[in-house]
Structure 1
Amino acid sequence: MEHHFADCTLDDARLTLTRGGSAVAVEPKVFDLIHLLLRNAGDLVTRDRMVEEIWGGRIVSESAISACIAAARKAVGDNGKAQAVIRTVARRGLMLVAKVSREADARPSVPAQAPAATAQRIRYCKNEDGCAVAYAISGEGPPVLRFGPLQTTDLEMEWAYGLHRSCISSMALHTRYLRFDNVGSGQSERVQREIDFETEARDAAAVSDAAGFDRFAAVSFSGGCLAALNFAALYPERLTRLAIVGGYVDGRSRRSADASPDALKSMIAEGWARPESAFASAFAMSYFPEGPAEEAREVLREMQAACPPETMLRDRDVINDATVAPLLDQVRCPVLILHARDDAVHPLSQAQKLAAGIPRAELVVLETANHVPLHGSACWENYNYTLAEFLTG
């Protein structure tokens, strides 16, 4: 069904929103809110109903709801002052006040169980050393390359798990999203090799070439920033912009002359091979103290499957001793740094150091203690919208 209102069209079969004939990138929950208001055009939609239908009845902060409403207004060309499309009913909820017309989509519909909707297509390319690197592409739109946390991604498990699938779908809603597994982990060739971040960057270039990406944006998560910043220095002509989530300049061994022993390494040694052990759970909660617990466990299960314990332990020392400080002033593209205010793994001071060292970089501080926001985090909507808006320009 196509819903026409103001100068917008929302197609609830293809999950698209256009304004003035141009596609508008929106996060899934923002899309769902607009759809909910359209289905009830002219009627009051209470905040309780919004929480029930958009967030599944979970406890949601006022800031998350407000961010979602603000994003919905922006998407349809409205604002809190004009309220020409979405009107606030004080202390009660929202009402869509624009005139709405509807028409059934005459185009052939895609079967619900079409292979494209249910199957992920993993492809392979060879890096400079001849190793097989697995990659997958989702969605249509501006090209975006992901640098995932080193050695801890698995394309197949990401597709199988609900949390990761929703994150992929969110990015694929408005970008052509390219993900790959590092050599030695996930679906890539499981060979033992020393971590070298310039080599990891060259692997990313090989994947980009195979996928037909010439110039593109990139997003890096956690330790993936080490390879991403090497890529930005090696291939400045290819990178249009770079987002860094949970990144850092110096590994923990370099941050202090008297750095304490790596507790996370001890947790890996004791619990990595036993998925439900207390040590493995402690590792997950170190990164995601705010949970939700099930989503944190899902991240842990993927990491454990992606990389064997001996590889994690071997690589941990390299990562702890790494630094990208000499590369920062070589980055030429726009950079957005998103970092949790209370991150205990890589402190906010590391994000500030990134922002201070990279020319014209911008820093957004996220109100969470989770290393990277999870789908159930209170800051998720604001984080996801900010990231998508930056990556799509």
Structure 2
Amino acid sequence: MAHARLRFGPYELDLDGRQLRYHGQQVRAEPRAIELLCHLAAHRDRVVTRQQLLDTVWSGHPVSESAITAALHAARQAVGDTGGGQEIIRTVHRRGYQFVADVAPAVATAAARGNYDAVRFCQTRDGAQLAYTVTGSGPPLVSTANWLTHLGLDRRDPMWQHWRRDLLRPSRRALRYDDRGCGMSDWCPPSAAPQVWVEDLDTVADAAGYDRFPLIGVAQGAATAIAYAALRPHRVSRVILISSHARGRQARARTDLDRRVADVDLSLATVAWQSADPAFLRAYAAQFLPNATPAEWDAYLAFTQRTTSPENMVRFFEILATMDVFPLARQVRCPTLILHSRGDTRIPAADARELASLIDDSQLVLLDSTNHLLSGAEPAWAELVRHVDDFLAD
């Protein structure tokens, strides 16, 4: 007989109350998806056919195949699983589906929780729930939100493991959070307004008890770091900008050709994610990781697809293309370290040089890499970590 409450990893599933929790916080998901998840978990000793799901979850009412597929996708998304990963729900070809995660009664919580970062939630003035986590001890460090993250998944993701290990190390009291619209924060529409990014960071920093702190912004997260340092100078001691995405392609376009390239780039991103065509998706991923293998591109794409809805994905693309915080950069007065790949094709090094010219107390370091997001194996990564350590130790 199944336990009424099951724990797997950081998740707790209440089979009677039809609720899913992550680190004690309720996961918001489609009710049909939770019902499907509960049914599979309760009958995890066997494969459940699609017909059995129709008879129980949909009470025998006729529904389309796409409705089952959508509910299955939502259930997997709620527990950080994918059709490719299948660590929680496995598809058994031509037979059905089976819940395959290792489970324990919910009373065995202490050891399970010890393997995961504690995720907390706070609420903005306009009612959005933001997820954040604080790890380590020692001097504070805040990592601004950048697209697209998921606090429940990035611990295991090879794209981000070395960033957490080497920059947000245990000797630093590191605060990071999921942006509104993605990850474990509310999947409300993301905002293009720098003032909203600043107010969201205010909310998270206040909830975590941070007063004055250094900021680190990676890729699009650099724009939030710049805006925050400019508009909240009393709270920021210094800033680190990595692969600075401070101005989108449409915003920095100066010629007709630039504007056409920017339009094509936005169209490629939108079509790639909406169609899920592997050729388009890999072409997009190659802009961030030109030296990666196809398997590494696929891993990066699979992680990103788990972080938000398709609608929000398109909205994020539009924000990335049009955002521009270069005017705010002139207002940054604290010491600033800018690290950028010399051969970055996504955001040219020329943009990093221009950004450095706008911030009075800044230093620019160009790294010998072509990746927009550096891998942990390339020599440039060790150089980046050394510069960050030296800068924070000053």
Shared fold per TM-score greater than 0.5:
yes
Cα distance in 1 for residues equivalent to 2:153 and 2:246: 29
Query: Residue type matched to 1:260 in 2?
Result: R
Preserved CA contact (<8 Å) 1:143 1:175: yes
2:113 pairs with 1:126: no
* Higher mean C-alpha displacement, 295-304 vs 139-148: 295-304
Shift of 1:366: 0.7
The 5 Å alignment of 1:234-253 reads 234-253=231-250
Q: Secondary structure at the match of 1:156?
A: coil
Q: Does the C-alpha gap of structure 1 residues 118 and 293 become closer, same or farther in structure 2, counting only changes over 3 Å?
A: farther
Query: What RMSD over aligned residues (CA atoms) do the two structures have, in Å?
Result: 2.1
> Which residue is 1:24 aligned to?
none
Query: Residue type matched to 1:285 in 2?
Result: A
Cα distance in 1 for residues equivalent to 2:221 and 2:315: 17
Shift of 1:212: 1.0
Q: Percent identity?
A: 30
> Which residue is 1:367 aligned to?
368
* Higher mean C-alpha displacement, 132-141 vs 242-251: 242-251
* Structure 1 alignment gaps of length 5 or more: 1-112
Shift of 1:156: 1.0
Q: Secondary structure at the match of 1:218?
A: strand
Q: Does the C-alpha gap of structure 1 residues 342 and 335 become closer, same or farther in structure 2, counting only changes over 3 Å?
A: same
Query: Residue type matched to 1:271 in 2?
Result: A
Corresponding residue to 1:169 among 158, 165, 172: 165
2:382 pairs with 1:385: no
Q: Secondary structure at the match of 1:159?
A: coil
The 5 Å alignment of 1:1-393 reads 115=112, 118-150=115-147, 152-170=148-166, 171-255=168-252, 256-258=254-256, 259-261=259-261, 262-272=263-273, 277-291=278-292, 293-393=294-394
Shift of 1:245: 0.6
Cα distance in 1 for residues equivalent to 2:158 and 2:343: 26
Shift of 1:222: 1.0
Query: Residue type matched to 2:201 in 1?
Result: A
Preserved CA contact (<8 Å) 1:125 1:134: yes
Q: Secondary structure at the match of 1:155?
A: coil
Q: Does the C-alpha gap of structure 1 residues 119 and 276 become closer, same or farther in structure 2, counting only changes over 3 Å?
A: farther
Preserved CA contact (<8 Å) 1:268 1:283: yes
Deviation digits for residues 326-352 of structure 1 (CA, Å, limit 9, x no counterpart): 212211211000001011111001100
Preserved CA contact (<8 Å) 2:187 2:309: no
Preserved CA contact (<8 Å) 2:266 2:321: no
Query: Residue type matched to 2:292 in 1?
Result: G
Cα distance in 2 for residues equivalent to 1:206 and 1:291: 37
Shift of 1:309: 2.8
Shift of 1:313: 2.0
Shift of 1:293: 5.0
Higher relative contact order (CA 8 A, sep 6+): 1
Preserved CA contact (<8 Å) 1:268 1:309: no
